[in-house]
Structure formats: C-alpha cells, structure tokens
C-alpha cells in the first residue's frame, strides 16, 4: 500500500488533538446500583460505559423491543401495513401482567398493537402481533432468535414475545443496546412512537412507564421492563446537540431507581462525549491515478458518513493517514474499495474506514492500455 499522510485541519478545525495527551480530563464513570448496564453512542456503536454488559439476564419486557423491531422490519419490506386488522385469539386475550386490554374475537389495527406494545407494554398486544406475523408465538420466537443472530446479539435467546418469565429466555444489556440502536437507525419513521407519553385503547388510558420522558426533554424512548427475577429495567435513548446516546440498565430495585440510574449515565455521557462527523458520504479525499483506464484519475471517498465518538475538547487538528492501493487498474466500478483511511495517532486510533471509488472508470483503448503497461514496467524497475 502506498501511504499518503494528510492532516485534517480543514475538516476538523475545531477538533482536539489534545485528547490523546490528556485523557485524565474525563472522570471515572458513575457506579450504578444495577446488576448490569451500558452506555452506547447510537450513531457509532461505541461503548462509553459498561458493567457486566454481556451477562445473560432475564430481560422482562425489554423483550418487546425485539417484538416491535420485527414488526417494523416487516413493515419496511411491505409485508405488513399499519392498517392491517389483526384477529385477537383467546391466548392473547388471556395474557396476564401488563395489558392493552384487547378482547378475544375482535380485530385490532396493527398500528394500535404497536402502541400497545411500546407504550402500554401489553403482553396481550405482543402475543396478538406475534401470532399474526408468524402463526404462533413459538414460531415468532424462532424469528426473534434469527433476528438476534443477524444483529450480533450473542448473549440472547427468546422463547416468547413478551418477556414473561420462562426457562431459556434471556438477553444482556449489550444485546439490548444493539437492538435499540438498530431500531433507531433502521426505522426512524416509526421511532416517534417510543416518545409518546400515553395511549388510550378500549377507553382505558395508560401512561408510558418510562419516567425519563417526563423528567428529561431530550429523552425520546425506549422501553421499560420488570419481573421479580429481572428487577426493574430500562432501555432509554436521548439526543442532545447532534449526539444520540443509548442506555440500558438492568436489575435495579424500583421504578424510580431505573430512571435515576439511567439519568446518571446519560448526563455523564453527554457531559464528556460527543459524536463528530469526520467525513460526509460522497466526500472526495483523493484523486487517484488509474492505469489502463479511459480516464487518468478516479475520485476516491466514502460510501457512508464517517462518525466518531470523541471527548468534548477543543483543539486544532487530528492526524490521518490515507493508504491507497499502489497500482489501481481499470476497469473500476462505483464502490470498489481502493484503500483505507486511519484517523488518530499511533496507539490511539479513533476510526478506520475503507475509501471507495466514487465513479466508474472503464478500460481504455488498446494503445492506452499498452502504453500504461510499458510505463508501469519501467517505473517498477527503479
């Protein structure tokens, strides 16, 4: 690989390089009264704080984040519509615990079931939706586990759609954070439901159990959970000044405690960290030489925005190294990987991303290809 060193002062004129020299400016994270917890940057997936985050625990109604995720997944692919009418079975109607209060033998709009799952934490709504999508709750649980595998949820296994206590039903704070992140990034069109503070169905008004929706105006989701075995759990997300964080707290001792402990993580994360966009999708970082092509150069840049989680510091610039393929031969298709960029200093790499061709380059004519081969041959002799 041929290395091209660049300093990104034009891109990050406000970003600090002093963070590498003074990490002690960030205090020790808060210690929470919880069995397990995690703080994650939603946009980058970086973990800022964790404690027992990969420990398999009963997730209680945090399970319903997966139930809702699958509904949103099917909606996005056109397999479902929010206007679909769902039949309510006896099993769904008889579900105990938190309920939406749907009635056996009736039909309920899927959009109402979504709100019943997300806002009211309805076990009945979850089962009705699961049966509608997969035919039975057990078949839906198999679908849940397939999605968990695709999302990299390596410490999760689901046996029902509700989180009702059952042998072999477990997840982890880290896995729930991955699921929350996927929900936020993949299905933003439905995410506003998670911020709704109440929902009325069948003339029964129920508030969202996420107390942070009232206490912190930057919080806009996501889901609570509670059983005797799981304790009080909360997955929450908030956005401030372009930075979105996700917290998952499991195994606290009260409804109030899960909100208080989650708030500690959010306040710590927003106070000391932020998400910065280093490069934009399609931004050109190099005009690379092409051999044997219909044109002499190809624009090189990024297929997606490049984001990084950084401590809140001020400074001049961050070093970056652009490693390009030494000999780029035509033909080239849009999206072909032509190198990589490494942002940060030695021993403290912030992010590493592939750089790709932003345009296609066809093969040149016969004489152009021959001329370039001869030129390369003599160049490689010296």
340 is catalytic: no
Q: Which two tokens stand for residue 231?
A: 């304790």
**236 contacts 210 by C-beta, under 8 angstroms:** yes
Catalytic member of 16, 36, 98, 121: 121
Helices 123-134 + 137-150 axis angle, to 10: 80
Coil, strand, or helix at residue 210?
coil
Please, what's the largest Cα pairwise distance for the chain? Answer: 84
**Residue from 16, 36, 64, 126 carrying the catalytic annotation:** 64
Residue 156 bears catalytic tag:
no
Residues 156 and 176: their CA atoms lie apart, in Å, by 9
Q: Which residues contact 379 (CB under 8 A, 6 or more apart)?
A: none
Q: Which of 16, 61, 171, 172 is catalytic?
A: 61
Active site residue 64: yes
β pairing state of 107-109 and 85-87: antiparallel
CA distance linking residue 170 with residue 163, whole number of Å: 9
Closest CA to 344 of 2, 1, 12, 36: 12
Annotated binding residue 375: no
The answer to whether residues 61 and 225 touch, using CB atoms and an 8 Å cutoff, is: yes
Whole-angstrom distance, CA of residue 153 vs CA of residue 339: 30
Q: Residues annotated as binding site for substrate?
A: 223
Q: Enumerate the active-site residues.
A: 61, 64, 121
Q: Residues annotated as binding site?
A: 223
């Amino acid at each position: 690989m041929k290395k091209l060193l660049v300093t990104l002062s034009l891109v990050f004129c406000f970003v600090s390089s002093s963070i590498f020299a003074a990490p002690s400016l960030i205090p020790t994270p808060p210690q929470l009264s919880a069995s397990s917890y995690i703080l994650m940057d939603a946009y980058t997936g970086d973990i800022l704080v964790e404690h027992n985050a990969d420990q398999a625990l009963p997730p209680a109604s945090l399970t319903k984040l997966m139930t809702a995720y699958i509904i949103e997944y099917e909606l996005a692919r056109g397999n479902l519509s929010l206007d679909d009418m769902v039949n309510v079975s006896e099993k769904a109607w008889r579900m105990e615990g938190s309920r939406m209060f749907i009635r056996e033998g009736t039909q309920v709009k899927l959009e109402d079931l979504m709100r019943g799952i997300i806002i009211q934490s309805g076990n009945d709504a979850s089962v009705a939706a699961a049966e509608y999508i997969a035919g039975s709750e057990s078949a839906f649980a198999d679908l849940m586990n397939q999605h968990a595998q695709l999302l990299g949820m390596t410490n999760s296994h689901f046996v029902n759609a509700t989180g009702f206590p059952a042998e072999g039903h477990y997840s982890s704070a880290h896995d729930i954070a991955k699921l929350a992140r996927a929900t936020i990034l993949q299905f933003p069109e439905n995410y506003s439901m998670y911020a709704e503070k109440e929902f009325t169905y069948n003339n029964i008004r129920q508030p969202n159990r996420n107390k942070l929706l009232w206490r912190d105006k930057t919080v806009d989701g996501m889901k609570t959970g509670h059983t005797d075995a799981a304790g009080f759990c909360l997955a929450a997300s908030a956005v401030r000044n372009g930075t979105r964080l996700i917290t998952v707290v499991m195994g606290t001792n009260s409804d109030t405690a899960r909100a208080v402990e989650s708030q500690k993580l959010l306040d710590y994360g927003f106070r000391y960290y932020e998400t910065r966009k280093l490069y934009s999708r399609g931004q050109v970082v190099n005009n690379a030489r092409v051999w044997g092509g219909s044109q002499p150069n190809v624009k090189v840049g990024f297929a997606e925005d490049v984001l990084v989680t950084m401590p809140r510091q001020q400074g001049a610039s961050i070093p970056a190294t652009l490693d390009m393929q030494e000999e780029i031969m035509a033909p080239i298709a849009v999206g072909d990987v032509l190198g990589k960029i490494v942002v940060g200093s030695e021993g403290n790499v912030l992010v590493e991303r592939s750089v790709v061709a932003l345009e296609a380059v066809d093969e040149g004519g016969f004489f152009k290809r021959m001329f370039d081969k001869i030129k390369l041959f003599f160049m490689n002799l010296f």
